[in-house]
Amino acid sequence: MVLEDYHTHNQMCHHAVGSIEDYIKKAIDKKLDLIGISDHFPYEYLKSSSILIEEVPYQEYAMSLNEVDLYLSSIQRLRDIYKNKIQLRVAFEVDYFKSQESFLNLQIKNRLNNLDYILGSVHILHGKSKLFAVDDRRFLSMYKEYDSIDNIYLEYYHKLQDMITSEEFDFDVVSHFDLPKKYKKRAIDKELVMNEVIKTLECVKRRDLTVEINTGGLRKEIKEQYPSFEIIEKMYELDIPILLGSDAHHPNELGYKFNKMIKLVSKIGYTKLAHFYKRKRTFIEIP
Ligand SMILES: [Zn+2]
Ligand SMILES: [Zn+2]
């Protein structure tokens, strides 16, 4: 079975353990066929925009802008060293903010040619009083500012829709599609939220993007992959391509529960997984 992990972090983001090389060595140990290094892109560029990024501890969420070239050159060097042992991919997980594309593009445009793919994510919501990261435990009290958890989901999916339909935001894969459930916060009006999920998936389909099956959720309070079985079924009906990501923040988490996930997506009907190289998508068969 070919195992490819497209979502991994490392110590450059200040909240993951281990160097890039530690992850590569562990991926080889675990017999993965491919590891995508996809650390968080810096948030620093937002300081020149109207987004008050200082309201969240953004330095703890990503490397700084002046480390980006070191990150890219390190992966290039490691790709040569390990080329006979594992396929290495270079990527970024980029957080989306509405109307900030021009600021982001100033930083990332001239580096796009070096990347194999880009994960597009939403972690930070506007909140009622200030910005907060929906997946950062320290901001759980912000949830009280909303009348209902459903409103967090709606804000999250509206932001995903903005990301997916943005003509200037260049990316390939939608990450952790139902992230607000992380702390066991399920939607209350399930139909209301599912309608928004379907609208979002229709945007994904129109742009022909890939959605990640992220096993990080299985290690969190919700104990479930992102997205849920029900959402993956909808994705299959819409013929939306998928790939696997562990969202490893420790080398031991690489390829986490991938065999289980392959069984799950096969049961739904999927027979292939997306594969990326230099921003081009091809497919590998699930045996
Ligand atoms: Zn992270
Ligand atoms: Zn993420």
Instruction: Please write the tens of the pLDDT for every residue from 128-153.
Output: 899 999 999 999 999 889 999 999 99
Q: Are 7 and 119 in contact (CB under 8 A)?
A: yes
Q: Are 212 and 232 in contact (CB under 8 A)?
A: no
Q: Is the pTM of this model over 0.85?
A: yes
Q: Which top CATH class is 4-285?
A: alpha beta
User: Where is average pLDDT lowest: 77-81, 160-164, 214-218, 283-287?
Assistant: 283-287
CA distance 245 to 177: 12
Mean pLDDT of the chain: 96
- Per-residue pLDDT band at 48 (split at 50, 70, 90): confident
pLDDT tens readout for residues 154-192: 999 999 999 999 999 999 999 999 999 999 999 999 999
Q: Which residues surround ligand 2, an ion (CB under 5 A)?
A: 121
- Per-residue pLDDT band at 23 (split at 50, 70, 90): very high
CA distance 200 to 142: 24
Decide the pairing of beta strands 124-125 and 117-121: unpaired
Predicted pLDDT at 58 = 94
Ligand 1 center to 186 CA (angstroms): 22
Ligand 2 center to 228 CA (angstroms): 16
Ligand 2 center to 5 CA (angstroms): 14
Q: Are 148 and 185 in contact (CB under 8 A)?
A: no
CA distance 157 to 30: 35
242 vs 41, 52, 238, 262, 266, CA distance in Å? 22, 33, 12, 11, 12
Domain ranges of the chain: 4-285
Ligand 2 center to 146 CA (angstroms): 22
Predicted pLDDT at 144 = 87
Ligand 2 center to 6 CA (angstroms): 12
pLDDT tens readout for residues 63-120: 999 999 999 999 999 999 999 999 999 999 999 999 889 999 999 999 998 999 999 9
CA distance 16 to 263: 28
Ligand 2 center to 283 CA (angstroms): 23
Q: What is the mean pLDDT of residues 210-229?
A: 97
